[in-house]
Chains A and B, each alone.
Chain A
Amino acid sequence: MTYFAAKNRINGSKTYVVGFVLGLLALITLPIIVHFNDYILQVFTHALLLASLALAWNLLGVSGSISLGHAAFFGVGAYASALLSLEQGLSPWLTIPIAGLFATGLGLIIGLICLRLRGAYFALATLAFVEIPRVITDNWDALTKGSLGLVGISGLPTLRMGDWHVDFGSSITASYYLVFVYSFVLLGLVTFVFRSNMGLALQAIREEEIAAESVGIHVNRYRLLSLLMSAFFTGVSGACYAHLVRYIEPGLVYGLHFSAIPMIFAICGGRFTILGPAVAALVLYPVDQFIFHPLLPAGHEFLYGGVLILTVLFMPNGFWGKLRNAS
């Protein structure tokens, strides 16, 4: 039922391990399977990026806080990295983590102001908070070029080791692998956090906050810490997005899309699971792009709304949580 209660069962379950390894192999060999088809690889690169967003969102989600404003971190990360590389000529290797720090800074401000709120009040406050960086970006023409957006952002960087080098920006296959590695590393980190005692504290806070503080858990410190981690990785994902797409504008990166989509994936996949949010992203986004988009070019995103309603009604623990209970 919960992640922790099911932990032993997962470790003991061969189906789970086999499924995980098979999924991983499929992702690694995907470029070969699809004969290096650019369009399919592009969709899966984006799906992996959304998976990283959902994983990052769930770092906060596990503590019980629902954020409707993660686009703030995403947008700040995207703009910070794009501007630092465009204006200062810094390598994206440097600007992407710095962008994460910018997002963390914003997370600190939002956290100190909003974390005293709970439940729906917190969610609404975060929803409103997105407007602040968006309006600033939109109007600070001298720095951000306002609503024109930024074009010509450098592509994903090149990795050099002596004579050997990979240019992640040169081909879609290369960027696919970079985003894959990033998402995988983030998955490892989320696993570590959830299984550490910090994960135990976050879970206790979600389950019953008053009891949590009365057994010695510094509630506000843990909630802030989980928000900061979540903001950092959302910012990093935003930065990756900027260098991947190489064009950003305020309406896009601060849009409701990037606030809602990680939440939808996390809830559909299972907020109380580690893998669920990532699996949901890797399943739903390709389904949306390959099946619903050709059918309904204007309203294909209704898929997300529909799946969200069905999940909340019939599988409150998400489909990953449900699958795991059944096994």
Chain B
Amino acid sequence: MILLQLKSLNKTFNNFCALSNIDFSVSEGEIVGLVGPNGAGKTTLFNLICGRYRPSSGNILFKDIDITDFKPHAICRLGISRTFQSSRPFPRMSTLQNVLVGHIFGKGFSLHTRPEDSDMARELLEIVGIDHKADTPAGQLTLSEQRRLDLARALATRPKLLLLDEVAAGFSPVLVKQAIELINRVRERGVSLLIIDHFLNLSLKVSDRLLALDHGEKIAEGPPHMVMRNRDVLQAYLGLRHQDEND
């Protein structure tokens, strides 16, 4: 069943075309990698799906609901959650409270925090492996811990679709391996994922499908090994000269 559907999506900023005519969909339970060089429009696409930007034209459907004009908080409550390229914790709040905020507001509102809310938040911190930092102000975590926190907070909103923006950028091979395990655990919880992966160190290993963008256009789509052999994709990543030498 199709979870997310993008229909001829366009986004221009002051005559600069950031995305043009993107048609794409994500099915339930699927992990899709979003790849492309710098400035290809990957993060712009995330911001459109999450409601931070309005598309210039086109539609976004989630669970068959047209969410094109929805506000970010409403989209979150419907079941789309995200992490940020450079993580955005609530720095002066404790790590646990960061996750608690996601849990409490992700699906609506209750006036007071119940004990089971805290338990849930702790469990998520355990899953991403930073439960020993629960009482530390989030601003004092290391960058890799902040990324994990971002992920835990996004999961706390109980999403059906999770958008990960460069979750493993700059990670060592050991951390990438941990991230892959983490993503598989998330998938087991019945969450579909759309993963931006500029350096391709993650998406090739976990994705069912890749979507390649360049200069705001879709240049390839399909199984990872197929997309990575696609001429346009190689050209976008490695340049023309390399192509010519191989030919």
Residue pair B93, A216 in contact (C-beta under 8 Å): no
Pick the interface stretch among A135-143, A192-200, A228-236, A281-289: A192-200
Given A196-B112, A212-B101, A216-B105, is A5 in contact with B93 using a C-beta cutoff of 8 Å? yes
Say yes or no: B111 contacts A197, CB within 8 Å. yes
What 0/1 pattern do residues 115 to 159 of B give for CB contact below 8 A with A? 000000000000000000001010000000000000001101100
Which residues on A sit within 8 Å (CB–CB) of B157?
Answer: 215-216
A1-35: which have CB < 8 Å to B? Answer: 1-2, 4-5
Could you say which of B77-85, B167-175, B216-224 contacts chain A? B77-85
Number of contacting residues on A, CB 8 A?
A: 24
Query: Is the Cβ of A2 less than 8 Å from the Cβ of B101?
Result: no
**A211–B84 CB distance below 8 A:** yes
| Nearest B residue (CB) for A200 | B101
In the complex, the answer to whether B88 meets A208 with C-beta atoms within 8 Å is yes
The interface bits of chain B over 73-115 (1 if a CB of A lies within 8 angstroms of the residue's CB, else 0) are: 1001100011010001111111001001110111111111100
A/B pair count, beta carbons within 8 Å: 95
Interface size on B, residues (CB 8 A): 37
Say yes or no: is B52 at the interface (Cβ < 8 Å to chain A).
yes
Instruction: Give, as a whole number of angstroms, the nearest-CB distance from A187 to chain B.
Output: 19
Partner of A197, one of B71, B88, B110: B110
Measured CB to CB, the closest approach of chain B to A320, in angstroms, equals 15
Q: Are B92 and A215 in contact (CB under 8 A)?
A: no
- B135 contact from A5, A200, A216, Cβ within 8 A: A5
Given contacts A197-B113, A211-B84, contact A218 B94 (CB under 8 A): no
Question: A183-209: which have CB < 8 Å to B?
Answer: 196-198, 200-201, 203-204, 207-208
Measured CB to CB, the nearest residue on chain A to B140 is A1
Interface residues of B (CB under 8 A from A): 50, 52, 71-73, 76-77, 81-82, 84, 88-94, 97, 100-102, 104-113, 135, 137, 153-154, 156-157
